[in-house]
Structure 1
């Protein structure tokens, strides 16, 4: 299943580490945001595996066009046990098909609460800055992008990173979907299963 990040990577960062709040939102506002975040993290429990496609639309225009074009196909192809995040704008057809599903509704509730409480902006006019900032935070050289980041736990700092491209992405996500449907795996099992034939970042 795919989750679009639209204009930046803040949602991914908010799920994978504690968030920062700008200004004084009060005790009630902070509790509301924590409540929505915990609900969203619980909703992630249905997935066995998480993947994150990190790229810069300006530096990788061919990859960006390709990813936006195939996102809906990848969303269906990857099934219900793999959740992948991508910086895309999926279009009206995808939104109409997916926005009524409980998981995507939970994402929207979190985003709405976060924006109302002035959390770090969920949308930005500079996705390139977001891409490079996140790559730096993960210790991934900017020259290595685009990459596929894979983990079994959004709250864990253990992750695998493999180079990707328009020629490899479908096969990589197909392999991850197969793994997610056929095993409850630990981190090192994932390393052995998926990364033997991938260039590690």
Structure 2
């Protein structure tokens, strides 16, 4: 009986050894222009840092308008998401403050992320935070970013960049030659005499 089983076992072993190994092919990544901006800022912030390393935790806040520090825009919201991805891909420990402390199960899905400050998890702790400001110019937006040590608020790293309206057509457009302000129509000799504006923002 045992002699009859040996050829069968040998046959099965031979079949399994001839099966090709599973291989994975990386799909080509199509980076958006805004993600490329996030990657450049990430590279510069890591390169010019005094004491910030991958062993520390980083909280990335939403960039704000430099003039008020209290307003934001769709471009800033997406840039925050791209910065979180870029830093994590470079090996940094990124904290997502939008994680809720409860799970919301609804008919259209299950949700963990929230922008309601009352539902954000209370035990969020980070050794460093990334803050950024954005300022519109005639032809684009200037971005300044800083990593700050939360123990004493000193700037651990800083970086800046300028992005033209042509680079981000879905987020920024140059000002038109005609601009309406306070019910009056102002005409300029050429396009770009006023500052650019965010797509969807009131002019």
Q: TM-score, normalised by structure 2?
A: 0.24
Tell which structure's C-alpha radius of gyration is larger: 2
Q: Which has the higher strand share?
A: 2
Q: Which has the higher contact order (CA 8 A, sep 6+)?
A: 1
Q: Which has the higher helix share?
A: 1
Q: TM-score, normalised by structure 1?
A: 0.24
